Amino acid sequence: MSHKTTYREALREAHRDALRADPRVFLMGEDVGKYGGSYAVSKGLLDEFGAQRIRDTPLSELAFVGAGIGAALGGLRPIVEVMTVNFSLLALDQIVNTAATLRHMSGGQFSIPLVIRMTTGAGRQLAAQHSHSFEGWYAHVPGLKVLAPATIGDARGMLAPALADPDPVVLFEHALLYNMEGELEGDWANTDIRSARVRRAGTQVSLITYGGSLWKTLDAASELAAHGVDAEVIDLRVLRPLDTETILESVRKTHRAVVIDEGWKTGSLAAEICARLAEDAFYDLDAPLARVCSEEVPIPYPKHLEDAALPQTAKIVAAARSATGK
Protein backbone atom coordinates (compact mmCIF):
# COMPACT_ATOMS: atom_id res chain seq x y z
CA MET A 1 0.00 0.00 0.00
CA SER A 2 1.58 3.25 -1.05
CA HIS A 3 0.44 6.72 -2.00
CA LYS A 4 2.01 10.02 -2.97
CA THR A 5 2.42 12.53 -0.17
CA THR A 6 4.88 15.04 1.29
CA TYR A 7 7.08 14.98 4.36
CA ARG A 8 4.89 17.75 5.86
CA GLU A 9 1.65 15.84 5.21
CA ALA A 10 3.18 12.68 6.59
CA LEU A 11 4.00 14.50 9.83
CA ARG A 12 0.48 15.98 9.96
CA GLU A 13 -1.09 12.56 9.44
CA ALA A 14 1.08 11.17 12.22
CA HIS A 15 -0.23 13.90 14.54
CA ARG A 16 -3.79 13.23 13.45
CA ASP A 17 -3.39 9.52 14.20
CA ALA A 18 -1.86 10.22 17.60
CA LEU A 19 -4.51 12.76 18.57
CA ARG A 20 -7.27 10.37 17.53
CA ALA A 21 -5.73 7.35 19.18
CA ASP A 22 -5.06 8.78 22.63
CA PRO A 23 -7.05 11.53 24.37
CA ARG A 24 -3.97 12.32 26.53
CA VAL A 25 -2.06 13.55 23.45
CA PHE A 26 -2.03 17.29 22.72
CA LEU A 27 0.13 19.70 20.68
CA MET A 28 1.40 23.06 21.82
CA GLY A 29 3.83 25.66 20.55
CA GLU A 30 4.16 29.02 18.87
CA ASP A 31 1.58 29.52 16.10
CA VAL A 32 0.63 25.84 15.94
CA GLY A 33 -3.09 26.62 16.19
CA LYS A 34 -4.67 29.47 14.25
CA TYR A 35 -1.64 29.93 11.94
CA GLY A 36 -1.28 26.19 11.37
CA GLY A 37 2.39 26.02 12.40
CA SER A 38 5.37 27.99 11.12
CA TYR A 39 6.07 25.17 8.70
CA ALA A 40 2.34 24.34 8.32
CA VAL A 41 2.66 20.93 9.91
CA SER A 42 -0.41 21.43 12.13
CA LYS A 43 -2.55 23.17 9.50
CA GLY A 44 -6.19 22.13 9.96
CA LEU A 45 -5.66 20.35 13.27
CA LEU A 46 -7.19 23.18 15.34
CA ASP A 47 -10.47 22.84 13.45
CA GLU A 48 -10.49 19.11 13.89
CA PHE A 49 -9.32 18.76 17.49
CA GLY A 50 -10.18 22.14 19.09
CA ALA A 51 -8.22 24.73 21.10
CA GLN A 52 -7.86 22.45 24.15
CA ARG A 53 -5.65 20.01 22.25
CA ILE A 54 -4.01 22.32 19.70
CA ARG A 55 -2.68 25.12 21.89
CA ASP A 56 -1.01 28.37 20.83
CA THR A 57 1.58 29.47 23.35
CA PRO A 58 3.25 32.77 24.24
CA LEU A 59 6.73 33.42 22.79
CA SER A 60 8.53 31.82 25.70
CA GLU A 61 10.27 28.52 24.96
CA LEU A 62 11.38 28.14 28.56
CA ALA A 63 7.79 28.44 29.80
CA PHE A 64 5.99 26.23 27.33
CA VAL A 65 8.60 23.44 27.31
CA GLY A 66 8.41 23.57 31.11
CA ALA A 67 4.63 23.37 30.88
CA GLY A 68 5.01 20.33 28.63
CA ILE A 69 7.18 18.63 31.24
CA GLY A 70 4.59 19.40 33.89
CA ALA A 71 1.81 17.99 31.71
CA ALA A 72 3.82 14.82 31.09
CA LEU A 73 4.43 14.44 34.81
CA GLY A 74 0.72 14.92 35.32
CA GLY A 75 -0.12 12.00 33.05
CA LEU A 76 -0.65 13.62 29.66
CA ARG A 77 1.27 12.90 26.43
CA PRO A 78 2.34 16.34 25.18
CA ILE A 79 3.90 17.14 21.82
CA VAL A 80 5.77 20.45 22.07
CA GLU A 81 6.74 22.17 18.85
CA VAL A 82 9.68 24.58 19.00
CA MET A 83 9.92 26.75 15.90
CA THR A 84 13.66 26.17 15.30
CA VAL A 85 16.51 24.52 17.11
CA ASN A 86 18.09 27.96 17.58
CA PHE A 87 15.12 29.00 19.74
CA SER A 88 15.23 25.76 21.72
CA LEU A 89 18.38 27.08 23.38
CA LEU A 90 16.06 29.25 25.49
CA ALA A 91 14.53 26.04 26.82
CA LEU A 92 17.79 24.17 27.36
CA ASP A 93 17.43 24.34 31.11
CA GLN A 94 14.04 22.63 30.98
CA ILE A 95 15.17 20.04 28.45
CA VAL A 96 18.63 19.21 29.81
CA ASN A 97 18.31 19.96 33.53
CA THR A 98 14.75 18.80 34.04
CA ALA A 99 13.31 16.54 31.35
CA ALA A 100 16.51 14.54 30.89
CA THR A 101 17.26 14.14 34.59
CA LEU A 102 14.01 13.67 36.52
CA ARG A 103 13.86 9.90 36.17
CA HIS A 104 17.37 9.72 37.59
CA MET A 105 16.83 12.40 40.26
CA SER A 106 13.63 10.76 41.51
CA GLY A 107 15.16 7.33 41.76
CA GLY A 108 12.89 6.14 38.94
CA GLN A 109 9.64 7.42 40.49
CA PHE A 110 8.90 9.92 37.73
CA SER A 111 9.22 9.72 34.00
CA ILE A 112 8.71 12.41 31.39
CA PRO A 113 6.87 11.00 28.35
CA LEU A 114 7.34 14.20 26.36
CA VAL A 115 7.95 14.69 22.63
CA ILE A 116 9.69 17.90 21.59
CA ARG A 117 9.68 18.57 17.85
CA MET A 118 11.81 21.22 16.25
CA THR A 119 12.99 22.41 12.87
CA THR A 120 16.68 22.30 12.18
CA GLY A 121 19.18 23.07 9.45
CA ALA A 122 19.94 25.63 6.82
CA GLY A 123 19.32 26.10 3.13
CA ARG A 124 16.43 28.56 3.14
CA GLN A 125 18.37 31.80 3.60
CA LEU A 126 17.08 32.30 7.13
CA ALA A 127 20.49 33.46 8.34
CA ALA A 128 22.51 32.66 11.41
CA GLN A 129 19.77 32.71 14.05
CA HIS A 130 17.39 30.29 12.33
CA SER A 131 19.64 27.89 10.47
CA HIS A 132 21.87 25.95 12.78
CA SER A 133 22.11 22.25 13.48
CA PHE A 134 22.41 21.45 17.17
CA GLU A 135 21.35 17.82 16.98
CA GLY A 136 24.81 16.87 18.17
CA TRP A 137 24.38 18.89 21.35
CA TYR A 138 21.15 17.12 22.26
CA ALA A 139 22.67 13.76 21.32
CA HIS A 140 25.31 14.49 23.97
CA VAL A 141 22.80 14.35 26.80
CA PRO A 142 21.97 11.09 28.62
CA GLY A 143 18.26 10.85 29.40
CA LEU A 144 17.16 12.08 25.98
CA LYS A 145 16.32 10.14 22.86
CA VAL A 146 17.15 12.08 19.71
CA LEU A 147 15.50 11.31 16.39
CA ALA A 148 16.16 12.66 12.90
CA PRO A 149 13.52 11.45 10.45
CA ALA A 150 14.88 11.99 6.96
CA THR A 151 12.32 10.09 4.91
CA ILE A 152 8.57 10.35 4.42
CA GLY A 153 8.22 6.96 6.05
CA ASP A 154 10.02 8.07 9.20
CA ALA A 155 8.10 11.38 9.23
CA ARG A 156 4.93 9.31 9.20
CA GLY A 157 6.07 6.58 11.52
CA MET A 158 8.37 7.99 14.22
CA LEU A 159 5.88 10.06 16.20
CA ALA A 160 3.88 7.09 17.55
CA PRO A 161 6.85 5.22 19.08
CA ALA A 162 8.21 8.56 20.34
CA LEU A 163 4.96 9.18 22.19
CA ALA A 164 4.92 5.62 23.47
CA ASP A 165 8.40 6.06 24.94
CA PRO A 166 8.32 6.77 28.69
CA ASP A 167 11.21 9.24 28.41
CA PRO A 168 11.68 12.57 26.64
CA VAL A 169 12.24 12.34 22.89
CA VAL A 170 13.58 15.22 20.78
CA LEU A 171 12.61 14.96 17.13
CA PHE A 172 14.40 17.03 14.50
CA GLU A 173 12.76 17.98 11.22
CA HIS A 174 15.11 19.46 8.63
CA ALA A 175 13.62 22.62 7.13
CA LEU A 176 14.39 21.53 3.57
CA LEU A 177 12.49 18.28 3.88
CA TYR A 178 8.93 19.59 4.49
CA ASN A 179 8.15 20.05 0.79
CA MET A 180 9.74 16.76 -0.24
CA GLU A 181 7.29 14.65 -2.21
CA GLY A 182 7.31 10.93 -2.46
CA GLU A 183 5.55 7.66 -1.95
CA LEU A 184 4.65 6.60 1.52
CA GLU A 185 5.65 2.99 1.38
CA GLY A 186 6.98 0.23 3.49
CA ASP A 187 5.98 -0.87 6.94
CA TRP A 188 5.82 2.65 8.44
CA ALA A 189 3.24 1.56 11.00
CA ASN A 190 5.95 -0.52 12.71
CA THR A 191 8.67 2.11 12.67
CA ASP A 192 11.35 1.59 15.30
CA ILE A 193 13.31 4.33 17.03
CA ARG A 194 16.36 2.23 17.82
CA SER A 195 18.18 1.47 14.61
CA ALA A 196 20.06 3.04 11.76
CA ARG A 197 19.13 2.03 8.24
CA VAL A 198 21.16 1.21 5.16
CA ARG A 199 19.48 3.37 2.50
CA ARG A 200 21.75 2.20 -0.28
CA ALA A 201 23.92 -0.88 -0.16
CA GLY A 202 27.50 -0.64 -1.36
CA THR A 203 30.88 -2.23 -0.88
CA GLN A 204 33.66 0.35 -1.09
CA VAL A 205 32.89 3.23 1.25
CA SER A 206 30.30 3.89 3.97
CA LEU A 207 28.68 7.32 3.76
CA ILE A 208 27.17 7.89 7.20
CA THR A 209 24.66 10.69 7.59
CA TYR A 210 21.27 11.76 8.90
CA GLY A 211 18.47 14.27 8.39
CA GLY A 212 18.61 16.74 5.52
CA SER A 213 22.05 15.56 4.40
CA LEU A 214 20.70 12.10 3.54
CA TRP A 215 19.47 13.21 0.13
CA LYS A 216 22.67 15.03 -0.79
CA THR A 217 24.50 11.88 0.25
CA LEU A 218 22.31 9.62 -1.87
CA ASP A 219 22.89 11.96 -4.83
CA ALA A 220 26.61 11.74 -4.12
CA ALA A 221 26.42 7.94 -4.07
CA SER A 222 24.80 7.95 -7.53
CA GLU A 223 27.50 10.27 -8.81
CA LEU A 224 30.19 8.11 -7.21
CA ALA A 225 28.86 5.07 -9.04
CA ALA A 226 29.75 6.86 -12.28
CA HIS A 227 33.32 7.12 -10.97
CA GLY A 228 33.38 3.43 -10.18
CA VAL A 229 32.92 3.88 -6.44
CA ASP A 230 30.29 1.61 -4.90
CA ALA A 231 29.10 3.58 -1.88
CA GLU A 232 26.88 2.44 0.96
CA VAL A 233 24.66 5.08 2.53
CA ILE A 234 23.64 4.81 6.16
CA ASP A 235 20.83 6.92 7.56
CA LEU A 236 21.43 7.13 11.29
CA ARG A 237 17.74 8.04 12.04
CA VAL A 238 18.39 7.77 15.78
CA LEU A 239 21.15 10.10 17.00
CA ARG A 240 20.90 8.99 20.61
CA PRO A 241 21.37 6.21 21.41
CA LEU A 242 23.55 5.66 18.31
CA ASP A 243 23.17 2.37 16.52
CA THR A 244 26.89 1.66 16.58
CA GLU A 245 26.42 -1.93 15.44
CA THR A 246 24.98 -1.00 12.06
CA ILE A 247 27.76 1.53 11.50
CA LEU A 248 30.49 -0.94 12.45
CA GLU A 249 28.98 -3.69 10.36
CA SER A 250 29.01 -1.45 7.31
CA VAL A 251 32.55 -0.16 7.81
CA ARG A 252 33.88 -3.64 8.50
CA LYS A 253 32.58 -4.46 5.05
CA THR A 254 33.67 -1.33 3.16
CA HIS A 255 36.80 -0.47 5.22
CA ARG A 256 36.28 3.24 4.55
CA ALA A 257 33.97 5.84 6.04
CA VAL A 258 32.92 9.40 5.31
CA VAL A 259 30.58 11.03 7.83
CA ILE A 260 28.30 13.77 6.55
CA ASP A 261 26.93 16.06 9.23
CA GLU A 262 25.42 19.53 8.84
CA GLY A 263 26.72 20.40 12.30
CA TRP A 264 30.09 22.10 12.68
CA LYS A 265 33.00 19.72 12.56
CA THR A 266 34.48 20.58 15.94
CA GLY A 267 32.88 18.49 18.66
CA SER A 268 30.26 17.24 16.23
CA LEU A 269 28.20 14.08 16.08
CA ALA A 270 30.45 13.25 13.12
CA ALA A 271 33.40 13.45 15.51
CA GLU A 272 31.66 10.99 17.83
CA ILE A 273 31.06 8.52 15.02
CA CYS A 274 34.66 8.80 13.84
CA ALA A 275 35.86 8.20 17.39
CA ARG A 276 33.75 5.06 17.69
CA LEU A 277 35.09 3.80 14.38
CA ALA A 278 38.63 4.46 15.51
CA GLU A 279 37.93 2.66 18.79
CA ASP A 280 36.05 -0.34 17.48
CA ALA A 281 36.98 -0.72 13.81
CA PHE A 282 40.59 0.46 13.74
CA TYR A 283 42.01 -2.69 12.21
CA ASP A 284 39.28 -2.74 9.58
CA LEU A 285 40.05 0.75 8.28
CA ASP A 286 41.76 0.97 4.93
CA ALA A 287 41.76 4.75 4.58
CA PRO A 288 41.72 7.73 6.93
CA LEU A 289 38.26 8.58 8.26
CA ALA A 290 36.77 11.64 6.61
CA ARG A 291 34.09 14.16 7.51
CA VAL A 292 32.01 16.53 5.46
CA CYS A 293 30.56 19.08 7.87
CA SER A 294 29.43 22.69 7.82
CA GLU A 295 32.15 25.31 7.66
CA GLU A 296 32.95 26.73 11.07
CA VAL A 297 31.05 29.98 10.62
CA PRO A 298 27.61 31.18 11.63
CA ILE A 299 25.45 30.07 8.70
CA PRO A 300 25.56 33.00 6.22
CA TYR A 301 22.52 34.73 4.74
CA PRO A 302 23.61 35.22 1.08
CA LYS A 303 22.69 32.24 -1.03
CA HIS A 304 26.15 31.59 -2.45
CA LEU A 305 27.78 31.81 0.96
CA GLU A 306 25.13 29.66 2.59
CA ASP A 307 25.63 27.03 -0.11
CA ALA A 308 29.39 27.22 0.36
CA ALA A 309 29.09 26.77 4.12
CA LEU A 310 27.03 23.56 3.99
CA PRO A 311 27.87 19.97 3.10
CA GLN A 312 27.11 19.59 -0.59
CA THR A 313 27.04 16.68 -2.98
CA ALA A 314 30.29 17.70 -4.66
CA LYS A 315 32.12 17.81 -1.32
CA ILE A 316 30.80 14.38 -0.39
CA VAL A 317 31.86 12.96 -3.76
CA ALA A 318 35.35 14.45 -3.38
CA ALA A 319 35.76 13.05 0.14
CA ALA A 320 34.63 9.58 -0.90
CA ARG A 321 36.87 9.56 -3.97
CA SER A 322 39.81 10.63 -1.87
CA ALA A 323 39.09 7.84 0.63
CA THR A 324 38.84 5.24 -2.12
CA GLY A 325 41.66 6.64 -4.22
CA LYS A 326 39.39 6.73 -7.30
- Contact positions vs other proteins (CB under 8 A): 255, 282-288, 295-296, 318, 322-323, 325
Report whether 316 contacts 260 (CB < 8 A).
Answer: yes
Q: How far is the CB of 233 from other proteins (least distance, A)?
A: 21
Nearer of residues 245 and 286 to other proteins, judged by Cβ: 286
- Provide the annotated active-site residues: 61, 130
Q: How far is the CB of 141 from other proteins (least distance, A)?
A: 26
Nearer of residues 194 and 227 to other proteins, judged by Cβ: 227
Q: How far is the CB of 258 from other proteins (least distance, A)?
A: 12
Locate all alpha helices (DSSP H) within 74-151, ordered by sequence: 85-88, 92, 102-105, 135-139
Q: How far is the CB of 142 from other proteins (least distance, A)?
A: 30
Question: What is the rounded CA–CA span in Å between residue 116 and residue 167?
Answer: 11
Q: Is the dihedral of CA 28, 29, 32, 33 positive or negative?
A: positive
Nearer of residues 177 and 292 to other proteins, judged by Cβ: 292
Nearer of residues 163 and 205 to other proteins, judged by Cβ: 205
Q: How far is the CB of 295 from other proteins (least distance, A)?
A: 8
Report whether 163 contacts 18 (CB < 8 A).
Answer: yes
Q: DSSP secondary-structure letter at 300?
A: P
Q: DSSP secondary-structure letter at 95?
A: I
Within 13 Å of residue 282, how many CA atoms lie on the same side as its CB?
4
Provide the residue type at 252 as one letter: R
Nearer of residues 10 and 281 to other proteins, judged by Cβ: 281
